[in-house]
Amino acid sequence: MKDDRLLTLGIETSCDETAAAVVADGRIVMSNIISSQIDIHTQYGGVVPEIASRKHLERINDVIQNALNDAEVRASDIDLIGVTYGPGLVGALLIGVAAAKTMAYALDKPLIGVNHMHGHIAANYLEYQELDPPFMSLVVSGGHTEIVNVTDYNKCEKIGGTRDDAAGEAFDKIARVIGLGYPGGPKIDRAAREGDRNAIHFKRVYLEEGSYDFSFSGLKTQALNYLNSERQAGREINTNDVAASFQEAVVEVIADKAVSAALEFKRNKIVMAGGVASNTRLRELLEEKAAEHGIEILKPSPLLCTDNAAMIASAAYYAYRCGERSGFDLDAVPGLEF
């Protein structure tokens, strides 16, 4: 039923989730439909872009209709359409962008192209109704490991990022080589709970003094070398210990840098975002380190951390309120920067 709240339809197809959601006034999730392709891509050990695009195309109309049905609204009740236009897989993004443009045209409603990473941060506006910028954000996902200084709803500045692999990517790779399968992050998280994080010492890479950048490729090589030498020596590998030790080396550096950034920029909140933000140990360690300085950690529920369209709707709403509009020439931008 339509009331006087501004209803945003969010659409997300940047990777392997076909998602649509209806959000009221940028804060209230009325529906959040996620059709995951994980089972299909698992057979190949990772996301196959061509398959992802085809699946998005098959599912997008039903997913949008389900989002409207779940929210108990009609398409004509929607005030605004927000869609992820990058970063992501080009063929996958194009399906969402085309669906959003078609709906915006047919319904004669404004269209807002959303940066997927801004969407991850906006997930926190859904989880924390009182949250307003400014704050420091830690965005950790399959493709990104970034520290972002958020000064306003439509203003943010990346102050550090990964120079090679993203944290999620590193988890996914190590999980594959120790036989945990895809997607690796949640599996490493689970295995690590049964392991000893001090069993193997993996290096912590902090780069230059004062830098908020990350590098995980050396750590990944060290872990691969360790696994090879253990196998060659005929020693049995304790998967849980490797998972726990590797995870610790990744999350310790991330937590330290996020806290340093909050201190330098005088922010009393660190807002977590992205799939890796649901990592149990990262949440725990970051909270521990932040508490020493009176900094609060905001951590959305796992469903809002991983890819979803409610976060895209929220980001679109705030972009709209700040005067942004996209034209029908909106295109997918796979390498879109922050």
Which of Zn ion, ligand KG4, none does residue 278 bind to, with CB < 5 to 8 Å depending on kind? ligand KG4
CB neighbours of residue 45 within 10 Å: 12
The reply to whether 184 sits near ligand KG4 by the rule CB under 6 A is: yes
Using only C-alpha atoms, what is the Rg of the chain? 20
For ligand KG4, the closer of residues 26 and 184 by Cβ is: 184
The residue behind tokens 């989730």 is: 17
Angle at 223 between CA 220 and CA 227, to 5 degrees: 140
* Residue 317, helix vs strand vs coil: helix
Min dist. Cβ of residue 285 to Zn ion (A)? 22
- Looking at 86, 91, 185, 300, which residue binds ligand KG4 (CB under 6 A)? 185
- For position 165 contacting ligand KG4 by CB under 6 A, the verdict is no
Query: With binding defined as CB under 6 A, does residue 276 bind ligand KG4?
Result: yes
Name which position in 127, 146, 165, 189 contacts ligand KG4 (CB under 6 A). 189
Q: Which is nearer to Zn ion, 73 or 139 (CB)?
A: 139
Q: Does position 278 bind Zn ion by CB under 5 A?
A: no
3-class secondary-structure state, position 65? helix
Helix (H) or strand (E) holding 138: strand 135-140
Distance between CA atoms of residues 19 and 60, nearest Å: 8
Q: Give dist(CA 277, CA 231) in Å, integer.
A: 32
Q: How far is CA 147 from CA 122, 239, 255, in A?
A: 15, 30, 11
CB nearer ligand KG4, residue 24 or residue 138: 138
Closer residue to Zn ion, CB minimum distance, 133 or 185: 185
Contact of residue 133 among ligand KG4, Zn ion, none (CB under 5-8 Å per partner type): none
What is d(CA 173, CA 43) in angstroms, rounded to the nearest whole number? 15
Sign, CA dihedral 329-65-2-318, equals negative
Contact with ligand KG4 (CB under 6 A): which of 279, 311, 316, 317?
279
Residue 183 interacting entry, from Zn ion, ligand KG4, none, C-beta within 5 to 8 Å by type? ligand KG4
Chain positions 126 to 165 lying near Zn ion, rule: CB under 5 A, are 141
Residue 152: CB atoms within 10 Å: 11
Residues at the interface with Zn ion (CB under 5 A): 141, 307
Residues at the interface with ligand KG4 (CB under 6 A): 15, 141-143, 168, 171-172, 183-186, 189, 274-276, 278-279, 306-307
